[in-house]
């Protein structure tokens, strides 16, 4: 999934080393030899997308152009869809139009549907939008939800609209931030405000609001179908009480927080409780309803009560891909961590380098936790990358520079503990 303008909302780099697993607590681990993996196919989307997609606008004075907003999802095991935001008045290939397209709106959310087995483009569809941040925000049981400004629409796998609803309008370029559960059954929408946040819990298949409330945001959010987890320490934490305008955000981020990172969890009707110690600027990630992945120099897999099932200390050798998250299969039996390395950096020349995909770290969750590292071979995949996993955990899709690639992963075995 695409996570754009990560520095504004607290999405951060995750650190991983490319070495094999060396330690485990709890249920134990079964190791498999490291292997290499190459894409099954690679498809160029540029002819279907047209001229350059619209870029996000971040900040106020001055405005900063971010990367184009994109998203990548498997609708089911055989269909993968990529989206971009484009301008209405630019030349485009012929496409089908849905939802009584409003020609007065300046932008379009453009979706390209591909056959996940062959890479062939099956359909291209556009919808009207006023928001540069429009995208797909959740998928469940062959249906998907788009967010266009404050408008949510549920679509069937054939792109026919099933339901629509609207969230309360939000000011600012980022708008509502979606957080889908691993199953896709629920989506939490949160605001990007630093001092007080609005949260809305929506059921995917009905678009019904199951709960809404206000809370002070503390860090990166993740949800299951029952709970919300977060970290208590992130960029901007100590500035919430004093920040006045968006212009102050960069100064707040530069200072950084002075706080103790802790992992907290709550249900829709319960209060926050601390279950584990976290790492600075890094947040928890639900991989199924019962298990949470904690990234960092020491990576952990814990239960919702804080019990550690897996723990391994990793040095600083390679870096998790910017903005990437744990990719969980719909049944929660597998999750995958994309791992990137920074190439071309030079402190002497003040060059930051670029992030290059190097590995997939595959965790199969069973009575024993099996981890396997797959080295990625083929065309170099770097910079802004969107990832998606198929519902059964057998495929990984990657969107980079308007190219989509799909990798076939080893089979899933075992049962969720």
Q: What is the pLDDT of residues 319-375, one digit of tens each?
A: 457 666 899 999 999 999 988 876 655 445 545 556 788 888 899 997 788 888 899
Query: In this predicted structure, what is the pLDDT of residue 182?
Result: 96
Query: In this predicted structure, what is the pLDDT of residue 160?
Result: 95
Q: 89-98, 334-343, 407-416: which range is least confident on average?
A: 89-98
> How do residues 135-176 score in pLDDT, each as one tens digit?
999 999 999 999 999 999 999 999 999 999 999 987 666 688
> How do residues 182-195 score in pLDDT, each as one tens digit?
999 999 999 866 56
Q: 51-60, 121-130, 268-277, 364-373: which range is least confident on average?
A: 51-60
Task: Give the ranges where 129-208 is alpha helix by DSSP (H).
Answer: none
Domains with residue ranges and CATH for the chain = 6-408 (2.130.10.10)
> Please, are residues 194 and 236 in contact by the beta-carbon 8 Å criterion?
yes
Query: In this predicted structure, what is the pLDDT of residue 357?
Result: 85
Mean pLDDT computed over every residue of the chain: 78
Structure letter (DSSP) for residue 13? -
The CA-based dihedral angle spanning residues 123, 126, 394, 313, taken in that order and rounded to the nearest 10 degrees: 150
Query: In this predicted structure, what is the pLDDT of residue 325?
Result: 83
pLDDT above 70 coverage of the chain, percent: 69
> How do residues 245-255 score in pLDDT, each as one tens digit?
444 444 444 44
Query: In this predicted structure, what is the pLDDT of residue 290?
Result: 95
Query: In this predicted structure, what is the pLDDT of residue 240?
Result: 44
- The mean pLDDT of 191-213, rounded to a whole number, is 87
Dihedral-angle region of residue 59 (phi above 0 means left; psi in -120 to 50 means alpha; beta otherwise): left
> Please, are residues 112 and 121 in contact by the beta-carbon 8 Å criterion?
yes
3-state secondary structure 220-262: CEEECCCEEEEECCCCCHHHCCCCCCCCHHHHHHHHCCCCCCE
Strands 209-215 and 221-223, how do they pair?
Answer: unpaired
């Amino acid at each position: 999934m695409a996570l754009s303008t990560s520095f504004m909302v607290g999405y951060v780099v995750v650190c991983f080393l490319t070495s094999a697993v060396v330690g485990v607590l709890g249920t134990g681990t079964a190791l498999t030899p490291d292997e290499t993996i190459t894409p099954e196919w690679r498809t160029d989307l540029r002819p279907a997308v047209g001229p350059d997609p619209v870029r996000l606008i971040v900040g106020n004075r001055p405005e900063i152009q971010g990367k184009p907003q994109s998203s990548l999802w498997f609708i089911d095991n055989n269909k993968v869809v990529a989206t971009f935001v484009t301008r209405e008045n630019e030349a485009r290939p012929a496409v089908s139009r849905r939802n009584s397209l409003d020609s007065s709106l300046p932008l379009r959310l453009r979706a390209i549907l591909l056959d996940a087995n062959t890479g062939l483009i099956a359909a291209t569809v556009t919808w009207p939008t006023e928001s540069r941040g429009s995208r797909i925000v959740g998928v469940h049981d062959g249906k998907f939800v788009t967010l266009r400004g404050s408008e949510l629409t549920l679509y069937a796998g054939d792109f026919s609209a099933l339901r629509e609803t609207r969230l309360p309008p939000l000011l600012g370029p980022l708008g509502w931030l979606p957080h889908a559960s691993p199953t896709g059954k629920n989506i939490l929408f949160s605001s990007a405000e630093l001092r007080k946040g609005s949260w809305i819990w929506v059921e995917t298949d009905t678009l019904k609001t199951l709960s809404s409330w206000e809370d002070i945001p503390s860090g990166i959010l993740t949800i299951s179908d029952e709970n919300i987890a977060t970290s208590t320490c992130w960029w901007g934490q100590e500035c919430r009480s004093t920040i006045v305008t968006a212009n102050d955000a960069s100064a707040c981020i530069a200072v950084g927080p002075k706080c103790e990172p802790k992992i907290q969890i709550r249900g829709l009707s319960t209060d926050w409780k601390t279950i584990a110690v976290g790492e600075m600027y890094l947040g928890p990630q639900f991989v199924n309803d019962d298990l949470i992945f904690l990234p960092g120099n020491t990576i952990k897999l814990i239960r919702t009560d804080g019990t550690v099932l897996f723990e391994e200390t990793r040095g600083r050798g390679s870096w998790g891909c910017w903005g990437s998250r744990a990719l969980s299969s719909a049944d929660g039996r597998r999750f995958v961590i994309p791992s990137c390395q920074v190439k071309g950096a030079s402190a002497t020349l003040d060059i930051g380098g670029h992030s290059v995909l190097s590995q997939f770290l595959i965790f199969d969750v069973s009575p024993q936790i099996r981890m396997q590292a797959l080295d990625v071979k083929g065309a170099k995949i770097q910079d802004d990358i969107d990832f998606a996993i198929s519902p059964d955990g057998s495929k990984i899709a990657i969107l980079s520079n308007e190219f989509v690639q799909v990798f076939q992963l080893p089979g899933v075995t075992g049962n969720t503990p």
